Amino acid sequence: MSLYSKALRHINMDRVKELREENIKKQKLAEEKLQEEIIRAELKKIHAEQTKHVNWRRELDEAMTTSGMGMINLGPNINDLTAADDKNSDAAPAPFPQDGTLSNNTWTMNSTPPEGSAAVVISLSVDLSTSDTISTQVYFDNAACEEMSVVLDGPVGSGLQQEFPLSVPPSGTGSANPNITINPSLRIKGVTLSYSALGAINFEGNRVIGTNAIRISSTVPFRSNPMSLFVSLDNPEAAAFIRDTLSDDSLTPEQKKKKLEEMLGASAEYLIKKFGEGIFTGAIELSDIDIQQSFVDIAAGQTLYGPGSNRTLRPDGTSGFPEPGEMNQDHNGNWYEYKPGEGWMPIPSLKFVKGSNQGTQNAHYEPEGEVIMEKKKLKSPKSLLDKIPGYYDDKPAPLGFPIEEPPKMKNGMHPDLVDGKKVANRYNRLDPTSAKAMPKTGNPHIDKKVKAAAKKPK
């Protein structure tokens, strides 16, 4: 009997096969992990390339805005949760994966992951800005799952991530309902929550978790402790710290107006002290507004004139919205002027005289007070022109215009530009470096000065 035959008596071939299969599984698992590392390295490389380019127009923001202007205090809401707080239906947009189906607000993971992937993943978009804990409910039903975890990823480019492993039942049947404490850096908006499950390898070498074996029934962010955070003024929660100092019922409308004008005045005084006279301070007084009457009041037929009048009806019987200062004559020949807040008011100084022949009415205005007249009269227009310096005959040359006649043109050009002598004076102080770099202009006077400047020491 050979040595090999003797050894076979002490070797269990079934155990040898099991060890070989285990080695094959370990080798495949190592290859899959290596593939995952390669994919992650490629994603990091792509992300690093994208972050090199900055869209400054999109990221440009005002130095001071209404965001973060107030702090609110939120209490725990663990006892006030409703079905609306469940985020299971808030699936994350592409390119985040959804390797499962949603039915009745419950996710069921696929049996096998997509080709080239080692795990099935379901991703949700959640707002964690007002939460410090996440509650999940996961059920396992004969699941062939090696491991499962919940992963929180911050907005793209933030680099924020938190991973929390779930306890998978050894028998593959059971549930997991952990309360995950959110990392303070991830208590923001735009967070992606992902469920990742790594299935077991079957005899064909594929990873499977079993048909309808893992179900996610709820994903609920909540506050287990009080939170204090800043919010913008347009946030509905901001109403907790916005106070109306003029809403006191004990103040009359006149007192409210006076108090508001005092506040506006104090603001204007501060701006003037801070930035000096001339700074825009805005209004410091409130004017009365003439409120438009309703059609019901118009139809009621109020008195025609005065403060309580129907102001859309003119004295001549026509209707329309009058302009301040508009004048109108009634059928008796009396004139009225429209004054905001007062209505159509009569004009006593405007009198009328009936014509003796045609019976027409001629209106004339009788001025009140003294007429202001110039005490010193101008003798003649020429005496005024003699006092204007630079004035010459037949030419419109008041102060500020040329005194001398403009020169006559030569060859369609100003005389100073014909020979180029005066133009060349601009190059009297040309430095050597600029002179050496300057090409010829074609003007001999300029080129001569450029050549001389180039020979000067630096």
The string of pLDDT tens digits covering residues 314-343 is: 888 787 778 888 888 887 788 888 887 778
Q: Does the pLDDT value for residue 31 go beyond 60?
A: yes
User: How far apart (Å, rounded) are the C-alpha atoms in residues 408 and 389?
Assistant: 24
User: How far apart (Å, rounded) are the C-alpha atoms in residues 313 and 297?
Assistant: 12
Residue type, 17: K
What is the enclosing helix (H) or strand (E) of 268? helix 253-275
Higher pLDDT pick, 74 / 354: 74
pLDDT of residue 388: 53
Q: Does the pLDDT value for residue 292 go beyond 60?
A: no
pLDDT of residue 134: 94
**Angle ∠(359,362,367) on CA atoms, nearest 5:** 150
Domain boundaries 68-231, CATH class: mainly beta
User: E strands, 47-169, where?
Assistant: 70-74, 100-103, 106-109, 119-126, 133-140, 145-153, 161-166
Average pLDDT rounded to a whole number, residues 153-172: 89
Of 94-108, 216-230, 371-385, 398-412, which gets the smallest average pLDDT?
371-385
Whether residue 100 contacts residue 107, with contact meaning beta carbons closer than 8 Å, is answered with: yes
Whether residue 28 contacts residue 205, with contact meaning beta carbons closer than 8 Å, is answered with: yes
User: Long-range contacts made by residues 17-24, C-beta under 8 angstroms, separation at least 24?
Assistant: 24/205
Of 8-22, 132-146, 395-409, which gets the smallest average pLDDT?
395-409
Q: Does the pLDDT value for residue 57 go beyond 50?
A: yes
pLDDT of residue 358: 40
pLDDT of residue 148: 92
Q: Does the pLDDT value for residue 348 go beyond 80?
A: no
pLDDT of residue 191: 93
The β-bridge relationship of strands 343-346 and 335-339 is antiparallel
Backbone angles phi, psi at 82, to 5 degrees: -130, 180
Dihedral angle, C-alpha 327, 330, 335, 338, nearest 10 °: -40
- Using one digit for the tens of pLDDT, what is the confidence trace for 424-454? 888 888 888 888 888 888 888 888 888 888 8
pLDDT of residue 67: 53
State the pTM of this model.
0.41
pLDDT of residue 333: 80
Q: Tokens standing for 212? A: 């309808």
Q: Does the pLDDT value for residue 128 go beyond 60?
A: yes
b/e code 26-60 from CB counts within 10 Å (16+ = b) = eeeeeebeeeeeeeeeeeeeeeeeeeeeeeeeeee
What is the enclosing helix (H) or strand (E) of 220? strand 214-222
Residue type, 358: Q
User: How far apart (Å, rounded) are the C-alpha atoms in residues 436 and 413?
Assistant: 30
Average pLDDT rounded to a whole number, residues 23-38: 87
pLDDT of residue 44: 81
Annotate 160-193 with DSSP letters as a single string. Answer: -EEEEEE---TTS-EEE--EEEPPGGG-SSSEEE
pLDDT of residue 361: 47
User: How far apart (Å, rounded) are the C-alpha atoms in residues 262 and 268?
Assistant: 10
pLDDT of residue 245: 57
Higher pLDDT pick, 349 / 300: 349
Q: Does the pLDDT value for residue 232 go beyond 80?
A: no
The mean of the pLDDT values for the chain is: 77
pLDDT of residue 355: 44
pLDDT band for 303, please (50, 70, 90 cuts): very low
- Using one digit for the tens of pLDDT, what is the confidence trace for 77-97? 888 888 889 999 998 887 888
pLDDT band for 307, please (50, 70, 90 cuts): very low
pLDDT band for 304, please (50, 70, 90 cuts): very low
User: How far apart (Å, rounded) are the C-alpha atoms in residues 320 and 312?
Assistant: 5
What are the extents of the domains in the chain? Answer: 12-52, 68-231, 244-276, 295-365, 419-454
pLDDT of residue 402: 60
User: How far apart (Å, rounded) are the C-alpha atoms in residues 103 and 217?
Assistant: 10
Q: Does the pLDDT value for residue 165 go beyond 90?
A: yes
Map tokens 């005289």 to a residue. 353
